[in-house]
Amino acid sequence: MTETGATETGETTSRTAVSRSVLVTGGSRGIGRAIAERMARAGHKVAATYRSGSVPHGVLGVQCDVTDPTQVEAAFAQVEAANGPVEVLVANAGITRDTLLMRMSDEDWDAVIATNLTGAFRVARRAARPMIRNRFGRIIFISSVVGQLGSAGQVNYAASKSGLVGMARSLARELGSRGITANVLAPGFIETDMTAELGEDLVKKYAEQIPLGRMGSVDDVSGTVEFLAGESAGYITGAVIPVDGGLGMGH
Ligand code: NDP
């Protein structure tokens, strides 16, 4: 694989892209599935976790619930045996349990934090061990525009998603000297099962607030992940990259 590009002076550059061992959590549906598909198409050795359903063709499927430490350890062992140590981790698995604060139960809070924040911490910690040894790693957390914007009815979800920013930036500082980057991708409203529950009127209302005037596609997100995992993004760490059509500008 070769990546080509032009410098400011018009000079053409090219670098050989490397095939990496990639693990995507939550690769059975939506954004995670699109990321796994794209990374496999780009020539990487890709594994993806699923709880139910299946992963795309050409991707190694590993059954794993990120809230269960034993399943996480088993999944990494399976990926390492098949594809080698994980070099690119995409912590994507996530859920919502939306309701207003006064109605939000401890269970609603705990479930979202356990999956979105603790699950991401658990896979990042496990992935980092061999990355440190190999002095290379790319950790990408899938956050959300609401992590910084806030969202009525999503106190648990927004807290989990902004928690990823503090985690990524701390990892960037802890692990930077070992050649490991940690970044956050913050999607806006992307068409998936998660947003399919929103009514047509609400989608229209949201779209009106998005400068680009439309919801995003899973491909909008997967393209940015491919870039962050690629050789050209080696000097980007601790960044929060919006893929939101301009919705979160200024945050
Ligand atoms: P979907 O609901 O379509 O898919 C969620 C994925 O996460 C599924 O593959 C699901 O697996 C997996 N998952 C959920 N819980 C667990 C768990 N405990 N362990 C392992 N896997 C789990 O969501 P999206 O594709 O829309 O969202 C993907 C990520 O992007 C999430 O983190 C979400 O918060 C974030 N995001 C989404 C936006 C959107 O507009 N869609 C906007 C901003 C951020 P299974 O099906 O097997 O249960």
Residue 74 is predicted with a pLDDT of 98
- Residue 249 inside a domain? The answer is no
Tell whether 117 is covered by a domain. yes
Which structural domain, as residue segments, surrounds residue 191?
Answer: 17-240
CA distances from 76 to 4, 72, 91, 180 (A): 33, 6, 13, 18
User: According to the model, what pLDDT value does residue 250 have?
Assistant: 78
- Is the residue at 223 inside a domain? yes
The answer to whether 74 and 64 have CB atoms below 8 angstroms apart is yes
CA of 15 to the centre of ligand 1 (A): 33
Specify if 153 maps to a domain: yes
Domains contained in the chain, number: 1
The reply to whether 251 falls in a domain is no
Residue 93 lies in a domain: yes
Query: pLDDT for 183-203, tens place per residue?
Result: 999 999 999 988 888 888 888
Whether 36 maps to a domain, the answer reads yes
Is 235 labeled as catalytic in the residue annotation? no
Question: For the segment 83-126, what is each residue's pLDDT rounded down to a tens digit?
Answer: 999 999 999 999 999 999 999 999 999 999 999 999 999 999 99
Task: Give the pLDDT of residue 46.
Answer: 98
Q: Is the dihedral of CA 186, 225, 222, 78 positive or negative?
A: negative
Residue 89: which CATH number? 3.40.50.720
Selection from 60, 69, 64, 84 nearest residue 133 by Cα: 84
Q: One digit per residue, pLDDT tens: the chain, 251 residues?
A: 545 445 454 444 445 579 999 999 999 999 999 999 999 999 999 999 999 999 999 999 999 999 999 999 999 999 999 999 999 999 999 999 999 999 999 999 999 999 999 999 999 999 999 999 999 999 999 999 999 999 999 999 999 999 999 999 999 999 999 999 999 999 999 999 888 888 888 888 888 999 999 999 999 999 999 999 999 999 999 999 999 999 999 77
Residues with Cβ < 8 Å from 119, sequence gap 6 or more? 25, 66, 67, 91, 93
Pocket lining for ligand 1, CB < 6 angstroms = 25-26, 28-32, 49-53, 64-67, 92-95, 115, 119, 142, 144, 187, 189-190, 192-195
pLDDT at 88 (0 to 100): 98
User: Which of 50, 157, 206, 235 is labelled catalytic?
Assistant: 157
pLDDT at 202: 81
11 CA to middle of ligand 1, Å?
Answer: 41
How many residues belong to the chain?
251
- 3 in a domain, yes or no? no
Q: What is the pLDDT of residue 71?
A: 98
